[in-house]
Amino acid sequence: MKLNARLSTLLILGALGSVAATAAHARSDAAFMKEAAQAGNAEVEASKRAQTKAQRADVKDFAQKMIDDHTKVGDELKALAASKKVDLPDGPSITQKGELTMIDVGDDKKFDERYVKAFGVKAHEDTVKLFQQAASEAKDADVKAFAQKTLPGLQHHLEMARSLQNAKP
């Protein structure tokens, strides 16, 4: 009897450990979706500012592409999150809000440079890393597929931003 009781206890503990691991994986996938939503929200907000403040036509064109692409990806992410019962934030993170404020501070002639550096290059570097990690480590197949599908577009945005940063005004 003692052996059966021990086996039962081990099986129960093993099952609980498996449930805990599954919950942890779901939390990490949910955290990815939330962070991705914040990044997209920040990108759209910064790009809307660039539409009115940018001086260079190529920067305004880039900003419009960011609004269009990140809005589309954001809608896909919302649908995915809803199917996984994950509530997404509807705005940027506190840090990203600070970065949005920073691109508005200073000489308006330097806005393009600040926008491209902060939300073209830096934000896309961070977002590409986030999506690369999810593309390889997400436990939910749908979350992993979303990250894998979205990653090439984000990498292209980063290339575009680097080209803008290196272009002569």
H runs (alpha helix) in the chain = 2-53, 57-83, 94-104, 111-115, 123-137, 141-166
Contact 99, 119 (CB under 8 A): yes
Please give the C-alpha separations between residue 136 and each of 41, 88, 149, in angstroms, as whole numbers: 24, 22, 12
Q: What is the pLDDT of residue 107?
A: 83
Q: What is the pLDDT of residue 1?
A: 46
Q: What is the pLDDT of residue 96?
A: 94
Classified as helix, coil or strand, 33 is: helix
Domains of the chain: 29-166 (1.20.1260.10)
Low-confidence ranges of the chain (pLDDT < 70): 1-27, 168-169
